[in-house]
């Protein structure tokens, strides 16, 4: 693969797997609370339905953090604010500045279990399936329009967007995200407009109907991707299907 093509694919992957997190930004809040004793509490709120990871960094002068920074800190769903860390002054005139980034899932420090086997994410006879060469662990399937799309693995529906009539899959296309118990997320791309039958927060079983494939002239493939969180951000994981035709 030419170097420029590999670079382009990498950028495409990074952009398209982060869009839902940006769309749900209002669900998450990171802020500071200045305490009477001079310390500063960094708080987080997660009003979503699945855990997220906060990459917290800070510049501290004459202060220290109770959590070694930079760090990825898990922020599970909760009704009340959660303490991420505390900045503690060590002398007069301390200075601090912090930045953060929020990613879906929880950072575990290792790749997903490669022995897991996923069901095919659609209902159709396997001898009619055509799968294009997978691109950086992204799996495009050539399916008939209207094919039922089902959960390849059990989990919680974390995001649903199906209001686009003819959107490009790599931009603001129709997508359903399912969060898995190990912190990975399954992405089901190119769903027919207004065809999703699940809602955010719903628990789904493997094989349960999610929606229907909606191929268009720009992107005639259904895409399935499993992503997980690394030190550098979200990455796509290789997937083994229980009945995949190359």
Which residue in this structure is represented by tokens 């659609």? 122
Say yes or no: 100 and 166 in one domain.
Answer: no
| Contacts (Cβ under 8 Å, ≥6 apart) of 122 | 141, 143, 147, 148, 149, 150, 213, 222
Q: Note whether 44 and 33 are within 8 A (CB).
A: no
Give yes or no: residues 33 and 97 share one domain. yes
98 and 119 housed in the same domain? no
Residues 115 and 217 in one domain: yes
Domain range for 68:
25-104
Does 212 map to a domain?
Answer: yes
Domain check: are 57 and 126 in the same one? no
pTM: 0.79
**Which of the four pLDDT bands, split at 50, 70 and 90, describes residue 132?**
low
Beta partners for 72?
A: 55
Same domain, residue pair 167 and 235:
yes
- What pLDDT is attached to residue 134? 62
In terms of average pLDDT, the best of 35-44, 139-148, 183-192, 225-234 is 35-44
pLDDT at 246: 42
Residue 137 vs residue 127, higher pLDDT: 137
DSSP annotation of 191 reads B
| Greater model confidence, 16 or 230 | 230
How many contiguous H segments (helices) and E segments (strands) does the chain have?
Answer: 1, 19
CA distance 200 to 203: 9
| Residue 3 pLDDT level (bands cut at 50, 70, 90) | very low
What's the half-sphere exposure (Cβ side, CA atoms, 13 Å) at 98?
A: 24
Is residue 100 located within the same domain as residue 116?
no
- pLDDT tens, 182-239? 999 999 998 988 999 999 999 999 999 999 998 766 667 899 999 999 988 889 999 9
214 and 231 in a common domain? yes
* End position of a domain, from candidates 53, 84, 104: 104
Task: Classify burial at 134, counting beta carbons within 10 Å of its beta carbon; exposed 0-12, middle 13-18, buried 19 or more.
Answer: middle
pLDDT at 18 over 90: no
Residue 144 lies in a domain: yes
Q: Quick: pLDDT tens for 81-103.
A: 999 999 999 999 999 999 999 98
Domain boundary among 74, 104, 134: 104
In a domain, 11, yes or no: no
pLDDT on residue 45? 96
Residues 6 or more apart in contact with residue 188 via CB below 8 angstroms: 121, 149, 175, 176, 177, 178, 210, 211, 222, 223, 224
Decide: helix, strand or coil at residue 84: strand
Tokens of 242: 């229980």
Q: For the chain, what is the domain count?
A: 2
Q: 176: pLDDT confidence band, cut at 50, 70 and 90?
A: very high
| CATH number of the domain encompassing residue 231 | 2.70.70.10
Query: Within a 13 Å sphere around the CA of 110, how many CA atoms are in the beta-carbon half?
Result: 4
- Residues 117 and 82 placed together within one structural domain of the fold: no
């Amino acid at each position: 693969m030419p170097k420029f093509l590999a670079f382009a694919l990498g950028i495409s992957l990074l952009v398209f797997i982060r869009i839902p997190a940006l769309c749900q930004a209002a669900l998450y809040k990171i802020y500071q609370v200045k305490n009477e004793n001079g310390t500063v509490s960094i708080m987080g709120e997660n009003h979503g339905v699945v855990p997220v990871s906060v990459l917290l960094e800070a510049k501290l002068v004459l202060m220290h953090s109770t959590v070694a920074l930079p760090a990825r800190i898990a922020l599970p769903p909760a009704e009340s604010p959660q303490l991420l860390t505390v900045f503690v002054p060590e002398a007069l005139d301390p200075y601090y500045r912090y930045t953060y980034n929020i990613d879906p899932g929880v950072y575990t420090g290792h790749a997903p279990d490669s022995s897991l086997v996923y069901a095919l994410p659609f209902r159709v006879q396997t001898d009619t399936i055509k799968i294009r060469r997978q691109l950086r662990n992204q799996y495009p399937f050539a399916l008939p329009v209207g094919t039922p799309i089902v959960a390849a693995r059990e989990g919680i529906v974390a995001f649903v967007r199906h209001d686009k009539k003819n959107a490009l899959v790599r931009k603001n296309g129709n997508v359903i995200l399912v969060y898995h118990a190990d912190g990975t997320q399954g992405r089901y791309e190119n769903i027919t407009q207004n065809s999703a039958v699940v809602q955010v927060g719903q628990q789904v079983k493997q094989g349960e109907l999610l929606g229907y494939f909606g191929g268009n002239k720009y992107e005639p493939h259904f895409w399935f991707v499993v992503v997980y969180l690394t030190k550098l951000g979200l990455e796509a994981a290789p997937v083994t299907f229980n009945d995949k035709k190359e």
